Amino acid sequence: MENFQYILPEIFISVSIMLFLLVGVFKKNSANLIYNLSNISLVILLALIINLSSLDTIYLFNESYLIDNLSNYMKIILVGSGIFVMLTGSKYIQVINLNKIEYPILILSSILGMMIMISSNDLIVFYMGLELQSLALYVLASFNRDNLLSTESGLKYFVLSALSSGLLLYGCSLTYGFSESTNFDQILINSTEFNYGTTFGIVFILVGLAFKISAVPFHMWAPDVYQGSPTSVTLFFAILPKIAALSVFIKFLYTPFANMNDQWQTIIVFISIASMIFGAVAAIGQKNLKRLIAYSSISHMGYALAGLATVSNQGIQSSITYISIYLVMNLAFFSCLFMLKRNDKYYENIEDLSGLSKKHPILSFSLLIVLFSLAGIPPLAGFFAKFYVFLAVIEQSMYFLAIVGLLATVVAAFYYLRIIKIIYFDPEKEEYETSHNLGLKITLAISTIFILAYFIYPSGITEIVSKITMI
């Protein structure tokens, strides 16, 4: 029984979800109340996780649940960004009439699912977490049910995601069949010899995970879902599932399949290169900002995976640093998107940014910083994210990956520059509303300052991340 203290965060969030559901059902017009309560419960959750993070590695429930440095760090950035996602989106969902009790509850359930995914040390526990988060995400994607695009994106996400979950399950069962266990550590011990069964298992599992992280060639859902979903949900999609999927990636590659890196390394390198190039090239023609950021996130995931392909602790750490900086950049970008509001209508096309700098100098400056950072131009945070990854990649003498990746940044720089050009060089349009809620302003301020001032003390994240060792 004493083990339960270690999963206090998970228990707390589950109880909160059920409680909020009850409150929502019995109390009328409680959407705002629940939204705020959910936010508070996320803050408490964050405190609980941080409280646990000083502990060493702990195995729970017959070694099927694992709490270690990796899971703690990932959960902290997961819940932390969850709080900011809720803060920034609060006004948005009121304006577009989505402020229903289910919305925060679905977000909380999805976060719970991701926490289980991150901590899982067993194929079955992992799959449970994955499905919990996916089911919540299907509903969230189509939450704006009167909107054709939103329902389309929900359906599309559901069909493709179900397919990938199927492949993933198939991979899991193959792995189980050939290694005689569902426990990650046990699989590692049992799979010392090469056999085709496990190789196929790896391939199927990687396909499923690549889908969740929207890496090429399993990225097709991303642009449509990003565009169709309500913007607050898009922000959620852009950050939280990526964090969870990346940590599961790390887990799978470096625990059960650690002995077979010669099998999966080429796959990861291929996925990584394809994502970097495709994300950069396909974004050039986009007109919708959400769609564009979908392609941009595809290419960013390519860089994060490049770190994983190195089979070194340095590489894993660089990927984790990358995703940490990536989530801040996305928060900043979407905060800017939430500010493009005029007469209760949100604007999301690139053309709507035309000449923004004349009337809204601070907003455009933030966008400028974010976009240059996404493009990876020094001295902004985005550069350091890429720098760490390439440091790890070149350490392993994977020059091809490094050079292709850096050339892709040049291509990607083009479309970021195009947005900057529209903001700064083009003639101005109508003014946008300038009154925004505090949460949005704070998020934008914090994230912009983080990106801008990262170079002053770049060791901060590195030092925390350097505790995470898998090999």
Give the pair of three-digit tokens for residue 369: 């910083």
Separation CA 223–CA 258 (nearest Å): 33
4 near other proteins (CB under 8 A): no
∠ CA 471-75-256, rounded to 5°: 35
Helices 313-338 and 438-453 sit at what angle, rounded to 10 degrees?
140
* Distance in Å, CB of 55 to other proteins, minimum: 24
281 near other proteins (CB under 8 A): no
Q: If you ran DSSP here, which 8-state letter would residue 3 be given?
A: G
Task: Give the interface segment with other proteins, choosing from 122-130, 153-161, 195-203, 399-407 (CB under 8 A).
Answer: 399-407
383 near other proteins (CB under 8 A): yes
Q: If DSSP codes are grouped into helix, strand and coil, which group holds residue 60?
A: strand
Instruction: With CA atoms as reference, report the closest residue to 310 among 210, 399, 185, 383.
Output: 399
Separation CA 233–CA 86 (nearest Å): 10
Q: Compose the 330-369 pattern: x for residues touching other proteins by CB under 8 A, - for all others.
A: -------------------------------x--------
128 near other proteins (CB under 8 A): no
400 near other proteins (CB under 8 A): no
Residue nearer to other proteins on the CB measure, 197 or 379? 379
425 near other proteins (CB under 8 A): yes
Task: Give the interface segment with other proteins, choosing from 5-13, 213-221, 315-323, 394-402 (CB under 8 A).
Answer: 394-402
Which one among 424, 429, 450, 464 touches other proteins, defined by CB under 8 A? 424
217 near other proteins (CB under 8 A): no
Which one among 44, 417, 442, 446 touches other proteins, defined by CB under 8 A? 417
Where does residue 387 rank: exposed (0-12), middle (13-18), buried (19+ CB within 10 A)? middle
Length of the chain in residues, anyone? 471
Give the pair of three-digit tokens for residue 122: 């067993």
Q: Compose the 449-468 pattern: x for residues touching other proteins by CB under 8 A, - for all others.
A: ------x--xx--xx-----
Instruction: With CA atoms as reference, report the closest residue to 412 among 234, 315, 268, 292.
Output: 292
381 near other proteins (CB under 8 A): no
* Preceding amide of 379 cis, omega within 30: yes
* Distance in Å, CB of 394 to other proteins, minimum: 5
377 near other proteins (CB under 8 A): yes
Q: Phi, psi at residue 183, to the nearest 5°?
A: -80, 135
108 near other proteins (CB under 8 A): no
Separation CA 212–CA 302 (nearest Å): 13
Residues that bind other proteins (CB under 8 A): 361, 372, 377-379, 383, 387, 390-391, 394-395, 399, 402-403, 406-407, 409-410, 413-414, 417, 420-421, 424-425, 455, 458-459, 462-463
